Amino acid sequence: MAHHKLHPNHTWRAKEGHRIVVLDRGAVRFDIPEQWVVIPSEKLLTIYDKQPPADDCRLEVSIFKTPLVNWNGLPLSALLTSVLNSEQRTPDQEVHKRKLGDKELAWTELAFVDRQEHRAARSRICLARGSGVHSLLTLDFWASDVEPVSRVWDEILESLQLERYVEDPTRGPQVH
């Protein structure tokens, strides 16, 4: 995934103290805290709360283009549970479901012990769906940081937009 700086006169708007992340010309868009560090790779985008290896929180985002079909027969919560079961990971709480306009979200949280640090950690995993795109967001953090990370997670999900394509993502949506 390419990483581009925004044009000085771009039309994107983020909540104060945040900046915008746009993937694949608007297939996925959300806000992150402005000090977070973005590190793109070929298949996914990784965002850290601090420059690694000093980071305490990591967000990974991937996009899957899907056919334009009616997805009502495949609930996101069932799909998310299936993915977790295939990885032999069990949520320690229920799957949260939200439908916001044209986007549908299902997310849950997992507890585990980090193998390198031998420290209690958590993952929040969200599957988001529009009509022609799915996005998987995974936020890993230390269990001791639940409260501040929860605020960041809520902002990411609240600001999440799917399939708001723009011609030039460095300039943002056209304002008429």
- Domain 18-162: CATH superfamily, name plus number: Mog1/PsbP, alpha/beta/alpha sandwich (3.40.1000.10)
Distance separating alpha carbons of residues 133 and 10, to the nearest angstrom = 25
Interior/surface letters 76-99, b for 16+ CB within 10 angstroms, e for the rest: bbebbbeebeeeeeebeeebbeee
DSSP assignment of 113-126 equals EETTTTEEEEEEEE
pTM over the 0.75 mark: yes
Q: What is the pLDDT of residues 63-73, one digit of tens each?
A: 988 877 766 76
Q: What is the pLDDT of residues 32-86, one digit of tens each?
A: 999 999 998 878 899 999 999 999 999 999 998 887 776 676 788 888 887 777 6
Could you state, in order of their start, the residue ranges of all structural domains in the chain? 18-162
